[in-house]
Structure 1
Amino acid sequence: MENNSQIVFVLHGLNDSASNRQLFFSLALVSYLVTVLVNVTLVVTVVFDRHLHEPIYVFLCNLCLNGICGASCFYPKLLHDLLADAHVISYAGCLLQIFISYSYVFCEFTSLTVMAYDRYLAICRPLQYGALMTKQKVVQLLLLTWTFSLLETLVGTAMTASLPLCGRHVRKLFCTNWEVVKLSCVDTTLNNIYGFVLMFSHMSQTVLILVSYGHLVRAAIRSHSHRRKFLQTCLPHLVTLLVFAASLVFDVMYSRYGAGTMQVLQNILAAEFLVVPPLVNPLIYGMKLQQIRSRILDKFGLRAETEK
C-alpha cells in the first residue's frame, strides 16, 4: 500500500440520484444555518447581558460553542459532497474530521458533567454555592473540559495515524476512527484497548451525572423552591444528556448493524450525534430557561406580542 499521506479515502454514504442529492443539499444547508443561528443567538444573548453572567449560563455558552464545532466538522463536507460527483477526502482531511468530531463528543460529555456538578451545588448546597463556584472555579472547569477532551482525542488520533492502511473505502458519510482503524494492515489491539479506556472514562462521567441527579431529585421532593429550580435548570440539562446519549447509541447501532439497512437510514443513524444535539440543545435551554427566553424575546421585539 502507498504511504498513508498519499491515500485519498472514498466515502460511500451518498448513493442517491442527483435530484435527491439536490433536495438533501437544501435540507442540510437549512439545518446547518439554523443550527449556527440558534447557538450564536444564545451565546450573544448571554455575552451581552450582564444579568446572565452566571456559571450556568457560561457553561451553556460553552456547550453551544462546542455544538457549533461539532456541526461544522460535518456539514461543510457533506454540502460539498452532495453537489460533487466524487465523494473523496484526503488522509489529512480525514484525520482532521476525526479529531474535531471526537473532541466534540468528549467535550460534550465533560461539559454535561460539569453542568451537573454546578446544578448539584446550586440546589443541594445553595448557601455555599457562591463560595464554591467562583469565577476562578468556572475558568478552571472550562480549561479542564477542553484540555481533557483535546488530549484524549489527540492520543487516539495519533494512534490511528500511526497505523499502516491497506484500504481506502470508508463506509460512511464522513470519517470516523473505527472506520479508518478497520482499514489497517496490522493488529489494532492497542487501539481497541484505548477505545475501551475512553468508554470506561465517559461511562464514569455518566455515573457521576446520575448520582448528582439522585441528590437533586431528593432535594426537589423536599422543597418547593428546589423543585422549581430543578424544573427550570436541571430538566433541560437532563433532556440534553438523554438526546446526546441516544444519538451516540444510534451511531453505535449504525457502526455495528447498519450494513444491511437502507442507505437513508444508515446516514441518519451515522450522523445523528453531529446533527441533533447541536440543534436541539440551544432550543431546549432557550425555551426552558426563563431569563434567556425573555432576553431573546426582548431583543427580537416578540415579548409583548407573546404576553398578549
Structure 2
Amino acid sequence: MDNISSPHFLTVTALNEWDWTSRIIFVSFALPVYLLTIVLNATLIMIITFEKALHEPMYIFLCNLCVNDLCGTTGFYPRALVYLLTETKTISLEECIVQSLVIVVYAVGEFTNLSVMAVDRYIAICQPLRYHTIMSPFTVVSLVTFIWIFPFFIGLMTVSLALKHPLCRYDIHKLFCEHLTLMNLACKQDIFQGIINGFLYISMAVFFVFVLISYLKIILACTKSKVNREKFYSTCVPHLISFLNTTCGLSDSLLTRFKVEKLSNIAYTFLSVIFLTVPPFVNPVIYGIKLGPIRAKILYFQSPRINNL
C-alpha cells in the first residue's frame, strides 16, 4: 500500500487513435445522454420520495436503483468528457483509486438491487396474501442495507487488494479506472487477489442464477392466473429488461479479464463503456413507461394509485 502516497500519474491511451472529429461526434452524443440520464433518474427519485402513495417496497428498491445509477454514471462521464474535450491524458493515482471504487460499487450494486427487486416481485406474485407480512418495514430496511453494504464491502476489498503491489506500468487502455485496471498495472499479482476476484465473479453468478430461478417460478405462477399475468406484464417486464440489459453490459469486465487485444482502440472503448452508460439511461425510461403510477405522475394524467402489488 506504500505506492498510494507516491506521486504517480497514469496515462490514458484509450483515445490515442481518435481524431478531433471522432471526439466531437462522441461528445455530441455522450453529453446529452449524460444530462438526460441525470434528469431521468433524478425525476424518478423525486417522484418516489415525495409521493407517499409510492412508499412501497417495490418503489423504494427502484429508488435505490436510480441512486446507484446516478453514482455510476457520475463516476464515469465527467472525467471521460475531460479526456475527450481537452488534451489531458493523465489521471492521478488517487483519482483513479476513487473512480475504481465508485465503479465497482456501482457494478455490484446493480446486481444487488436487481436481485432484491426479484425477491420482491416473487413474493408479490407467488405469495400475494403474505406480501405485506413478509415485506415488513424491518425487512425492507434490511434489504436496503444489504443493497449498499455488500457492494461497498466488495469495492473496498477488491480495490485495496489491487493496490497491494507497487505499479510497474502506467498506461490505462480505457476511459475509466476499475480494480482490474489497477491489478494489470501492478508489478505482480498473487493468488489471494485471484481468490477475491473469483469470489466477486461467483457472487455475480449467484445473483444471476437467483434472479433466473425467481423469474422461472414467477412465470410458472403466471401461467395459472390471469391476475398474475397482468402483474407480470406491468411490474416484472421492466425489471427483467433491466436485468438482461445489465447482464449484457458485463462484456466490459470479460474483455478486460481476458485481455482481448484484437479489437481496435475505438471499438474496444465503445464496448468497455456500455455497462456504465446504457443501464443508467435505459432503466428509468423502462420503469417510467411501464409502471402506471409513475407514468401517470410524470404525465399528470391522474394521481398514482398502487393497485398492482
Which interval holds the TM-score relative to the shorter structure?
over 0.9
Any unmatched runs of 5+ in structure 2? 303-309
CA distance in 1 between counterparts of 2:23 and 2:155 reads 32
The change in CA–CA distance for 1:35 and 1:118 in structure 2 (over 3 A counts) is same
Does 222-231 or 250-259 show the bigger shift? 250-259
Secondary structure at 1:73 match in 2? helix
Structure 2 distance, partners of 1:196, 1:18, is 40
Match of 2:140 in 1: 138
Alignment partner, residue 119 of structure 2: 117
Cα offset for 1:22? Answer: 2.6
Could you report, residue by residue, the CA deviation over 1:70-124 in whole angstroms, capped at 9, with x for unpaired residues?
0001000011111221311100111111100000011110111100000011011
- Letter paired with 1:118: D
Contact 1:124 1:216 in 2 (8 A): yes
Identify the residue that residue 36 of structure 2 maps to in structure 1: 34
Rounded Cα–Cα distance in structure 2 between residues aligned with 1:248 and 1:187: 23
Distance of 2:4 and 2:151 partners within structure 1: 29
Aligned to 1:12: 13
Q: Match for 1:214: what amino acid?
A: L
What is the CA distance between 1:251 and its match in structure 2? Answer: 4.1
**Structure richer in helix, relative to its length:** 1
Tell me, in whole angstroms, the C-alpha distance in 2 between the residues paired with 1:65 and 1:3.
29
Aligned match of 1:97: 99
Distance 1:155 1:3 in 2: 15
Identity over aligned residues, as a percent?
Answer: 36
Q: CA RMSD in A?
A: 1.8
| Secondary structure, counterpart of 1:260 in structure 2 | coil
Superposition deviation, residue 252 in structure 1? 1.5
Q: Check whether the contact 2:170–2:185 (CA below 8 A) recurs between aligned residues.
A: yes
The structural deviation recorded for 1:192 is 1.5
Equivalent residues of 2:9, 2:93 under 8 A apart: yes
Query: In the aligned structure 2, how far is the partner of 1:65 from the partner of 1:48?
Result: 15
Partner residue, 1:305: none
Is the contact made by 2:163 and 2:182 (CA closer than 8 Å) also made in structure 1? no
State the shift of 1:2 in Å: 7.6
Q: CA deviation at 1:294?
A: 0.9
| 3-state secondary structure, aligned to 2:175 | coil
Structure 1 length as normaliser, TM-score?
Answer: 0.93
Instruction: Name whichever of 129-138 and 236-245 sits farther off.
Output: 129-138
What is residue 183 of structure 1 aligned with on the other side?
185
Please report how far the alpha carbon of residue 186 of structure 1 lies from its aligned counterpart in structure 2 after TM superposition. 2.5
Q: CA deviation at 1:232?
A: 0.8
| Residue 82 (str. 1) matches residue 84 (str. 2) | yes
Cα offsets for 1:230-280 (capped at 9, x unmatched): 111111111101000001124423653542222221111111000000000
Partner SS, residue 182 of structure 1: helix
Mapped pair 1:217 → 2:230:
no
**1:67 shift after superposition:** 0.3
Q: Is the 8 A contact 2:13 2:171 kept in 1?
A: yes
Q: Is the 8 A contact 1:255 1:270 kept in 2?
A: no
CA distance in 2, matches of 1:114, 1:298: 30
Secondary structure in 1 matching 2:11? strand
Shift of 1:201: 1.5
Q: Distance in 2 between matches of 1:88 and 1:197?
A: 31
Matched, 1:281 2:286: no
Structure 1: stretches of 5+ with no match in the other structure: 302-308
Matches within 5 A, 1:255-270: 256=258, 258-270=260-272
- What is the TM-score with the length of structure 2 in the denominator? 0.92
1:47 corresponds in structure 2 to: 49
Aligned equivalents of 1:182 and 1:218: distance in 2? Answer: 45
Contact 1:12 1:171 (8 Å CA) reproduced: yes
Task: Give the AA of the match of 2:232.
Answer: F
> Alpha-carbon deviation of 1:43?
1.1
Q: Give the 5 Å matches for 1:190-209.
A: 190-209=192-211
Q: Give distance in 1, aligned partners of 2:22 and 2:273.
A: 18
Bigger CA drift: 54-63 or 182-191? 182-191
